[in-house]
């Protein structure tokens, strides 16, 4: 049995989901041949750079342009034109990736990004591969670019996501609500007191985590300035070295400034609230940790949709401005029963082990699949 897990490195969430699945399958199916592949690593250099840096530029510096392009590609009467344009662009630039899939001829292709999903489905429709194609949608909403004929199974985060797929013409029989895959670290149980001591933090004090992704974007410095007297704050600056230096030089006594960390689950475990961007993987991780979110700096389109769906489920609040951030945090601090209410709502929708559930689906499916040996 051969499984290829594919993602695109434009955006870290898709990669984190793919890595979670890869680690789970390696642990639970040691005799299965499993590869983890970045689709963009098997495209031409110009396409890779435009795809990667173009996305980063748009979401950081031209969100208005990203919003326009997102909704233009969402409009129903333009979908055929948009999908045809996408089809042509991908055919011209993904030849190496297509060749790779044909030569490898895996039994399963598991995709956490719409680009490899489209390429794989095209090859299958053309009978160039016989692989089963599983697409893991890494947001709570569904953009049409995720949907391609030839896909055997869609893995989604919620009932709402499933309904969106059905409304866009996908057969409900090929949709499973398993959740967005997260690393096993987010499923572990932690002793809060031990981590507080490890991080040199005070016990029995309201603690706020600020974490907005790998680039530390958003008005983080201003939020810290507003809140540093009212809460113990953990700030993950990630790769934003300029932000790290600025905050460290302020030397606020109740603020712990961190750079790029590999213990995100631990800092989540000791926090009461997280101020974050509503990316699909971040949401899945904080749901696993039962951590109450306040959303800021949402990317128009997929992230604003994620936040809207979570709020509809009674989980999290979107702050409209900096003053709103402070008011929301202080309200939670003064009314802990509101935090407990949201935690109960989280328990209703969170999935206990998304990666493990998908592993089980593959294992069960392989017994009835003639394309290869059971796992």
SS3 350: coil
Cα 318 from Cα 322, distance rounded (Å) = 11
Contacts of residue 163, defined as CB under 8 A and 6 or more positions apart, other chains included, come to: none
Distance of CA 170 to the CA centre of its chain: 22
- pLDDT (tens digit, 9 = 90+) per residue, 80-110? 787 788 888 888 899 999 999 999 999 999 9
The model's pLDDT over 342-352, given as tens digits with 9 standing for 90+, comes to 999 999 999 98
| Residue 50: predicted pLDDT | 85
Compute the distance between CA of residue 133 and CA of residue 365 in angstroms, rounded to an integer: 12
Residues 6+ apart with CB under 8 A from 34: 2, 3, 4, 5, 22, 25, 26
Coil, helix or strand at residue 35: strand
Residue 370: is its pLDDT beyond 80? no
pLDDT tens-digit readout, 60-81: 777 878 778 877 777 777 777 8
Q: Give the span between the Cα atoms of 314 and 346, in whole angstroms.
A: 8
Q: Please give the pLDDT value at position 107.
A: 95
What does the pLDDT read at residue 215? 67
| Segment 10-58, tens digit of pLDDT | 878 899 999 999 999 999 888 899 999 999 999 988 898 888 877 777 7
Given a cut of 70, is residue 367 above it in pLDDT? no
CA gap 189, 335 in Å, rounded = 26
Res. 374: pLDDT tops 50: no
For 230-285, write each residue's pLDDT tens digit: 999 999 998 889 999 999 999 999 999 999 888 999 999 999 999 999 999 999 99
d(Cα 66, Cα 265) in Å, to the nearest integer?
Answer: 30
Domains in the chain: ranges and CATH: 2-179+352-366 (3.40.50), 184-349 (3.40.50.2000)
């Amino acid at each position: 049995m051969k499984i290829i897990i594919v993602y695109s490195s434009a955006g870290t969430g898709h990669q984190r989901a793919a890595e979670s699945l890869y680690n789970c399958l390696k642990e639970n199916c040691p005799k299965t041949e499993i590869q983890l592949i970045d689709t963009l690593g098997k495209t031409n250099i110009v396409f890779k750079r435009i795809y990667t840096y173009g996305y980063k530029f748009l979401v950081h510096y031209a969100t208005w342009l990203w919003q326009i392009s997102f909704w233009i590609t969402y409009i129903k009467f333009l979908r055929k034109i948009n999908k045809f344009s996408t089809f042509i662009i991908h055919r011209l630039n993904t030849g190496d990736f297509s060749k790779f899939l044909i030569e490898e001829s895996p039994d399963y292709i598991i995709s956490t990004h719409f680009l490899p999903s489209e390429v794989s489905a095209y090859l299958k429709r053309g009978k160039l591969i016989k692989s089963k194609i599983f697409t893991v949608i890494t947001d709570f909403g569904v953009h049409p670019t995720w949907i391609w004929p030839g896909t055997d199974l869609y893995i989604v985060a919620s009932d709402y996501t499933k309904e969106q797929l059905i409304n866009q013409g996908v057969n409900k029989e090929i949709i499973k609500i398993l959740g967005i895959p997260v690393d096993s670290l987010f499923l572990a149980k932690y002793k809060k007191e031990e981590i507080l001591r490890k991080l040199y933090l005070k016990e029995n004090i309201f603690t706020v985590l600020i974490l907005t992704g790998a680039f530390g974007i958003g008005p983080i410095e201003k939020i810290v300035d507003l809140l540093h007297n009212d809460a113990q704050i953990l700030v993950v600056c990630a790769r934003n070295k300029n932000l790290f230096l600025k905050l460290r030089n302020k030397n606020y006594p109740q603020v712990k400034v961190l750079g790029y960390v590999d213990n995100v689950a631990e800092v989540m475990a000791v926090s009461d609230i997280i101020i974050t961007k509503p990316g699909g993987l971040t949401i899945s991780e904080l749901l696993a940790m039962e951590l109450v979110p306040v959303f800021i700096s949402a990317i128009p389109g997929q992230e604003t949709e994620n936040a809207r769906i979570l709020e509809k489920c009674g989980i999290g609040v979107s702050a409209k401005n900096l003053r709103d951030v402070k008011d929301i945090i202080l309200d939670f601090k003064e009314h802990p029963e509101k935090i407990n209410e949201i935690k109960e709502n989280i328990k209703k929708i969170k999935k206990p082990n998304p990666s493990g559930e998908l592993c089980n689906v593959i294992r069960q499916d392989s017994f009835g699949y003639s394309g290869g040996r059971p796992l």
